[in-house]
Amino acid sequence: MENERALLSYLKGKYSTEVWLQRDKISVKDALKVLLLDQLKASLGAESDSSSFHIRLTYTKASDEAQGASETTHESKRRKTDAENGSNCISENSFEKVYEPCIFSVHCNRMPIFFSGRYFKYSRNVSQSRWIIDDERMGEASVEEILGGNILPACLGDSYKFHAAGREDIDVRMLGSGRPFLIEVQNSRQLPSEQSLKEVEEKINKSEKKLVGVKDLKCIGSQCWAMMREGEAEKQKQYVALVWISRPLEEKDFNSISCLKELKILQKTPVRVLHRRSPLDREKIIHWMKVEKIKGHSHYFLLHLCTQAGTYIKEFVHGDLGRTTPSMGSILGCRAEIIQLDVTDVKMGDP
């Protein structure tokens, strides 16, 4: 920085009237890059591209006292022709400080690398992300820890972050086509091969407990984050819910439910999440629904439905004390409760 400033000062003194000096200036580093890049590409026979690998050099300058002593030495040398006499003007201790080498530290790191895929959650006691309350773990494990804990060692990275296209409650299974996710690995020291990623998939899928599964695991570019956010906002989700109603299911109920297409519902923030989410009114769409009988159980049925992203399915079934309208209970004219819920498809393009 000081050398660059000195060079600019010299140019201003010598070429102050030149028009080109008044224009926007680039740094010495960028100027050298422009001058040398083509020559280096030709010499090495390689293309130039931005790298994810960063090197940071940090050095400690000489102390102010030593710097002052250095200036005194230079002044003495200008006044005296004998360099030995000039060096005698400062103390031995100060002289040694002047010539102490700078202390360099080198820190190397790589920009984050991303892995994408789709995960499955087979247990109703596994949270999506690590869930700790008052030092007590909620659930048996988490999707985040199972996926990240297997991918991180394959990269020799420092840490990881988990991102998913939406979320499901701890007691909801993720089946069907799986849910898209990203794992962001910080400072990876190696890039796993396709074979290594297949081995990671196999290790997760063949786990003895079979809590979580994964497919289509691959390394992708950093642009994937924006692509997943865009896809998440537009996605549709399919579910199957085990529903109980307070009266026997009748034949007319099948038609009254299946004929409802693109049903608009209004949902206030559910009571169960009011402590952590803003009280808002959200308009959502139920694209279609289908009822499946359960033989020998007239009060129970399977409800298959496809909804807009962000729809609260549990509240759509039981009505949430009138905070979701219409609800399955109001459509059938009776009390309705959801017993179990599974996600069967997340319709969005993979990043």
Provide the β-strand partners of residue 286. 263, 307
Say if domain 235-347 classifies as CATH 3.30.70.3190.
yes
CATH number of 111-233: 3.30.70.2510
Cβ neighbours around 255 below 10 Å, total: 10
Same fold, 111-233 and 235-347: yes
Question: Which of 170-174, 218-222, 227-231 is modeled with the greatest confidence?
Answer: 170-174
Tens digit of each residue's pLDDT (9 = 90 or more) over 183-205: 999 999 999 999 999 999 999 99
pLDDT band at 80; cut points 50, 70, 90: very low
Asked if the model's pLDDT at residue 323 lies above 50, the reply is yes
CA triplet 230, 234, 239: central angle to 5 degrees? Answer: 130
Distance CA 188, CA 191 (A): 7
Q: What is the per-residue pLDDT for 297?
A: 94
pLDDT band at 276; cut points 50, 70, 90: confident
pLDDT band at 104; cut points 50, 70, 90: confident
Supply the residues annotated as catalytic: 169
| 197 or 233, greater pLDDT | 197
Asked if the model's pLDDT at residue 275 lies above 90, the reply is no
Q: What is the per-residue pLDDT for 172?
A: 97
Task: Please state whether the predicted TM-score (pTM) of the whole model is above 0.95.
Answer: no
Q: What is the per-residue pLDDT for 83?
A: 46
Asked if the model's pLDDT at residue 64 lies above 60, the reply is no
Q: What is the per-residue pLDDT for 100?
A: 64
Q: What is the per-residue pLDDT for 237?
A: 93
- Could you tell me if 245 and 335 are in contact, meaning their C-beta atoms sit under 8 angstroms apart? yes
Tens digit of each residue's pLDDT (9 = 90 or more) over 124-180: 999 999 988 888 888 899 999 999 999 999 999 999 999 998 889 999 999 999 999
* Beta-strand pair 324-325/300-308: unpaired
Domain ranges for the chain: 1-45, 52-109, 111-233, 235-347
Average confidence (pLDDT) over 325-344 = 96
Asked if the model's pLDDT at residue 79 lies above 70, the reply is no
What does the block give as tokens for 295? 């033989």
Q: What is the per-residue pLDDT for 198?
A: 96
Average per-residue pLDDT for the chain: 84
Asked if the model's pLDDT at residue 340 lies above 80, the reply is yes
- Could you tell me if 233 and 345 are in contact, meaning their C-beta atoms sit under 8 angstroms apart? no
Per the listing, tokens 């959502």 go with 284
What does the block give as tokens for 270? 């559910």
pLDDT band at 65; cut points 50, 70, 90: very low
Tens digit of each residue's pLDDT (9 = 90 or more) over 117-126: 999 999 999 9
* Beta-strand pair 136-137/141-142: unpaired
Q: What is the per-residue pLDDT for 233?
A: 65
Give the rounded percent of residues in the chain with a pLDDT score beyond 70.
81
Give the rounded percent of residues in the chain with a pLDDT score beyond 90.
54
Distance CA 304, CA 300 (A): 13
CA triplet 111, 112, 115: central angle to 5 degrees? Answer: 145
Please give the DSSP secondary-structure letter assigned to residue 101.
P
- Could you tell me if 94 and 69 are in contact, meaning their C-beta atoms sit under 8 angstroms apart? yes
Q: What is the per-residue pLDDT for 90?
A: 54
Q: What is the per-residue pLDDT for 137?
A: 86
3-state secondary structure of 63: coil
Secondary structure percentages of the chain, helix, strand, coil, to 5: 35, 30, 35
Q: What is the per-residue pLDDT for 339?
A: 97
pLDDT band at 107; cut points 50, 70, 90: confident
Asked if the model's pLDDT at residue 85 lies above 60, the reply is no
Asked if the model's pLDDT at residue 44 lies above 70, the reply is yes
3-state secondary structure of 107: strand
pLDDT band at 25; cut points 50, 70, 90: low
In the chain, the amino acid numbered 2 is E
* Beta-strand pair 173-186/336-347: parallel
